């Protein structure tokens, strides 16, 4: 257990050891942030005269002009419904939508485009799977395995499934540094486990799980695995076939795409076994008043109603954009910023880095500040134009294991810079306890 954040401890003098040296990283410089910033119109905004330092990318990433243009162009030139009209504009929209599916297929290394289901996001994908795959595979007395670091969106749907069918949720705990080992996960895979749902990367600490090994262990027990890739896809090239994932889900808005679109990848044989989650337009081959309803195959059987066509188009534009920047460059940039933040921010008196983000950097550095509520730290940083998330990050049970009321999460994107890390470090030197610390020292909300 990491020490409890002591809300009453005397504040250390943060400024006594203040240095104004520029922030450096063990991996040197990264020019990516400066190069791409101009592509993101929102980064030109100022708050109270200060430039926006956007470090809440794990919650949602900003959108490059390319993505905004793709959405506007779609509505301006190709808008109509898909797969429903026998006229050229509808054929065009259908083609554009299916091209977007193909782009996503390529981006995640899936074998067939029909393994890519467009959904509203990660939460929607996990709920879909819990209500279809889960109900198919899990019954009374069975078990579903998850890790101790799941976001509520990859925890509560499985918990509710277990409660409703009389199954048990087995939680493989993380260690004191916020890691889950493949061996501990394997040890939990008893004969009653029928399904596993694991996050690829923790949204609180940025810990990268050994998902490939975990999946291999699960498959030795014939247990299919759902991977929550919401925090992985924006930061690393993901190949679902290399991972041998049965299902892999993520949200478009965290990967520089639009809100309201996400992806549920499913291995073809498994996806085709799923019953429709919702029924309605677009899912059926034939409906009559006397015969049983005949459903079309996946992905359409899982995309009832009018899909988010412009969202899919925007997401494809985001993947094209990232592809052009190059994943090696993105990975190096990520590493540069994370290592720099761990060193620079972690050296501010009273600041502690939680977990071990430098072990395999993935854009997230979570900190706590001695004696100061995370909301007060968030408010202080905001006063300096710095946007971060403070609290439990929708992972209440994981944050509990660290004995803290919450953390302050710095989460980096492709447009962030070492100069911004420096601004965070300098701002943290002057943070003092505020209303939250004095009036709600142990209360949490988010």
> Which spans of this chain sit near ligand PLP (rule: CB under 6 A)?
59, 121-123, 151, 153-154, 199, 203, 228, 230-231, 251
CB of 53 to ligand PLP, least distance (A): 20
From the candidates 394, 405, 423, 427, which is the catalytic residue?
394
CB of 251 to ligand PLP, least distance (A): 3
The span from the CA of 155 to the CA of 126, in Å, is 9
CB of 339 to ligand PLP, least distance (A): 22
CB of 258 to ligand PLP, least distance (A): 11
**Closest to ligand PLP by CB, 107 or 348:** 107
**Closest to ligand PLP by CB, 30 or 203:** 203
The span from the CA of 2 to the CA of 348, in Å, is 18
CB of 153 to ligand PLP, least distance (A): 4
**Closest to ligand PLP by CB, 121 or 210:** 121
**Closest to ligand PLP by CB, 317 or 364:** 364
CB of 338 to ligand PLP, least distance (A): 17
CB of 271 to ligand PLP, least distance (A): 20
**Closest to ligand PLP by CB, 203 or 366:** 203
Chain-centroid distance, C-alpha 59? 7
Query: From edge to edge, which strands make up the β-sheet containing 351-354?
Result: 351-354, 364-369, 407-411, 389-391
**Closest to ligand PLP by CB, 199 or 437:** 199
Q: Rounded to 5 degrees, what are φ and ψ at 211?
A: -65, -35
Q: Which of 178, 173, 187 is nearest to 218 (CA)?
A: 187
CB of 119 to ligand PLP, least distance (A): 9
Is 394 part of the annotated catalytic residue set? yes
CB of 422 to ligand PLP, least distance (A): 27
**Closest to ligand PLP by CB, 230 or 431:** 230
Residues in a beta bridge with 372: 369
Q: Is the peptide bond before 299 cis (omega within 30 degrees of 0)?
A: yes
The span from the CA of 232 to the CA of 250, in Å, is 8
The span from the CA of 170 to the CA of 32, in Å, is 42
Q: Rounded to 5 degrees, what are φ and ψ at 28?
A: 90, -150
**Closest to ligand PLP by CB, 206 or 385:** 206
Q: Which tokens sit at 116?
A: 């890519």
Place of tokens 């203040």: 18
Whether 161 contacts 134, CB under 8 Å: yes
**Closest to ligand PLP by CB, 232 or 351:** 232
The span from the CA of 66 to the CA of 63, in Å, is 8
Whether 243 contacts 211, CB under 8 Å: yes
Residues annotated as part of the active site: 394
């Amino acid at each position: 257990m990491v020490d409890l954040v002591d809300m009453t401890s005397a504040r250390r003098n943060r400024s006594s050891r203040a240095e104004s040296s520029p922030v450096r990283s063990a991996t040197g410089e990264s020019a990516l942030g400066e190069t791409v910033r101009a592509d993101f119109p929102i980064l030109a905004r100022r708050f109270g005269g200060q430039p926006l330092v956007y470090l809440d990318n794990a919650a949602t990433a900003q959108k490059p002009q390319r993505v905004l243009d793709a959405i506007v162009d779609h509505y301006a030139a190709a808008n109509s419904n898909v797969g429903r009209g026998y006229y050229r504009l509808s054929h065009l929209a259908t083609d554009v939508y299916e091209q977007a599916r193909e782009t996503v297929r390529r981006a995640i290394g899936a074998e067939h485009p029909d393994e890519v289901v467009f959904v509203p996001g990660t939460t929607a994908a996990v709920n879909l799977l819990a209500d279809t795959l889960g109900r198919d595979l899990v019954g009374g007395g069975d078990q579903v395995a998850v890790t101790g670091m799941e976001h509520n969106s990859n925890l509560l749907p499985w918990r509710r499934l277990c409660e409703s069918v009389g199954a048990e949720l087995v939680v493989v705990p993380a260690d004191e540094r916020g890691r889950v080992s493949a061996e501990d996960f394997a040890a939990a895979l008893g004969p009653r486990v029928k399904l596993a749902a694991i996050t690829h990367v923790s949204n609180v600490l940025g810990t990268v799980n050994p998902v490939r090994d975990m999946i291999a262990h699960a498959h030795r027990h014939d247990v299919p695995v759902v991977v929550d890739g919401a925090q992985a896809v924006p930061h690393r090239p993901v190949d679902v076939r290399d991972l041998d994932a049965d299902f892999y889900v993520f949200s478009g808005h965290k990967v520089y795409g639009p809100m309201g679109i996400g992806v549920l990848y499913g291995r073809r044989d498994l996806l085709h076994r799923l019953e429709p989650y919702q029924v309605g337009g677009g899912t059926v081959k034939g409906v009559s008043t006397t015969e049983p309803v005949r459903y079309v195959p996946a992905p359409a059987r899982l995309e009832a109603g009018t899909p988010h066509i412009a969202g899919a188009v925007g997401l494809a534009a985001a993947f094209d954009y990232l592809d052009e920047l190059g994943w090696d460059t993105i990975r190096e940039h990520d590493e540069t910023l994370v290592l720099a933040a761990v060193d620079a921010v972690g050296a501010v008196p009273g600041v502690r880095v939680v977990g071990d983000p430098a072990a395999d950097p993935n854009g997230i550095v979570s900190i706590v500040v001695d004696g100061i509520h995370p909301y007060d730290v968030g408010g202080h940083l905001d006063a300096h134009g710095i946007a971060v998330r403070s609290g439990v990050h929708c992972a209440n049970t994981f944050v509990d294991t660290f004995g803290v009321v919450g953390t302050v999460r710095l989460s980096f994107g492709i447009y962030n810079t070492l100069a911004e890390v420096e601004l965070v470090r300098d701002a943290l030197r002057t943070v003092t306890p505020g209303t939250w610390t004095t009036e709600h020292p142990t209360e949490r909300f988010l």
